[in-house]
């Protein structure tokens, strides 16, 4: 079966959590925030900055690849039931749960649970319809790819492309906040899923991935802060700040070494030698899981 290797998945996640691109995106966000404060009539957030951050956050499929590659069994019980779609009748809830269901879809698909994948694909489509962005959600193509285990890499490409199109459309409609909520929902579900798995089957690699999400959390909070005038988003920020306080106990240090360039099969490859060290305890895992579960429960209820 053709699929992404564990090394590729880890490199994608590490790039999002500690690479220069994420850091530059955060710096741009802060500058945009300052511009907003100084110029109230300016757009809430520039297209370039949001696009940079969107691309830096891992696809929901990537953590699922990691979990399966570690030999951890599929567990449908940790996912949000697709039967809950009728509960979500506001743009706020639809956007967050579109992100959540996208993660659940990826998880089911990676494990070749075709029936569950179709179940969550329908839920994703319902949320997209609610947000009036279904025309940018290639339902038929994704359905075809989701039922074929030989097309997992294509599925990742298509879902990422769809997200970019949705982001552009929402930007045009001055609804960039919906993009941010979709990202937040997907990220939160991936974090919850990883914590649940790590709690049942302790694994240092999973602990490191959970610890590194401290950086992504900071970026999401910066993005959400542009729309804190919304009561819903203000409440979400308060919940996410509670999670941020828990993450203060998680310490990340980096050891930088000069990158090396080498040629593989005629392709120039940059070998990044940077490594990270995560100070992460069992108590940290319990606290992050408990707060994440509480935030998630508000969203899916």
Structure tokens at 68: 């399966």
Structure tokens at 182: 């979709």
Taking a C-beta distance cutoff of 8 angstroms, is the pair 279, 208 a contact?
no
Domain spans in the chain, listed from the N-terminal domain onward: 6-251+283-300
pLDDT in tens, 79-98: 999 999 999 999 999 999 99
- Mean pLDDT across the stretch 150-173? 68
Q: What whole-number distance in Å separates Cα of residue 107 and Cα of residue 73? A: 11
Judged against a pLDDT cut of 50, whether residue 25 lies above it is answered with no
For strands 267-271 and 251-255, give the pairing. unpaired
Distance CA(191)–CA(201), nearest Å, equals: 15
Global pTM?
0.77
Greatest mean pLDDT range, 3-17, 62-76, 158-172: 62-76
What distance in Å separates the CA atoms of residue 22 and residue 177, rounded to the nearest whole number? 19
pLDDT one-digit tens code per residue, 33-56: 554 454 443 445 666 776 677 666
């Amino acid at each position: 079966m053709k699929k992404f290797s564990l090394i590729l998945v880890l490199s994608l996640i590490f790039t999002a959590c500690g690479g220069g691109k994420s850091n530059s995106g955060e710096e741009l966000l802060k500058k945009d925030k300052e511009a907003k404060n100084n110029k109230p009539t300016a757009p809430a957030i520039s297209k370039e900055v949001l696009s940079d951050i969107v691309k830096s956050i891992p696809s929901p499929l990537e953590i699922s690849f990691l979990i399966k590659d570690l030999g951890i069994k599929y567990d449908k019980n940790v996912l949000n039931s697709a039967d809950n779609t009728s509960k979500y009748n506001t743009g706020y809830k639809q956007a967050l749960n579109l992100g959540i269901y996208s993660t659940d879809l990826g998880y089911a698909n990676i494990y070749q649970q075709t029936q569950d994948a179709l179940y969550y694909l329908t839920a994703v489509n319902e949320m997209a319809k609610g947000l009036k962005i279904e025309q940018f959600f290639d339902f038929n193509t994704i359905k075809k790819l989701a039922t074929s285990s030989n097309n997992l890499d294509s599925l990742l490409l298509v879902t990422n492309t769809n997200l970019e199109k949705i982001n552009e459309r929402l930007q045009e409609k001055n609804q960039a906040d919906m993009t941010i909520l979709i990202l937040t929902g997907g990220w939160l579900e991936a974090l919850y899923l990883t914590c649940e798995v790590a709690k049942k089957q302790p694994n240092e690699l999973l602990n490191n991935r959970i610890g590194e999400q401290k950086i992504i959390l900071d970026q999401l909070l910066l993005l959400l802060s542009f729309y804190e005038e919304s009561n819903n988003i203000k409440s979400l920020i308060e919940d996410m700040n509670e999670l941020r306080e828990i993450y203060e106990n998680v310490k990340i240090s980096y050891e930088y070494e000069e990158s090396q360039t080498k040629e593989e099969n005629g392709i120039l490859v940059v070998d990044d030698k940077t490594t990270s060290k995560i100070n992460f305890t069992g108590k940290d895992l319990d606290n992050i899981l408990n707060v994440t579960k509480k935030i998630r429960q508000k969203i899916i209820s």
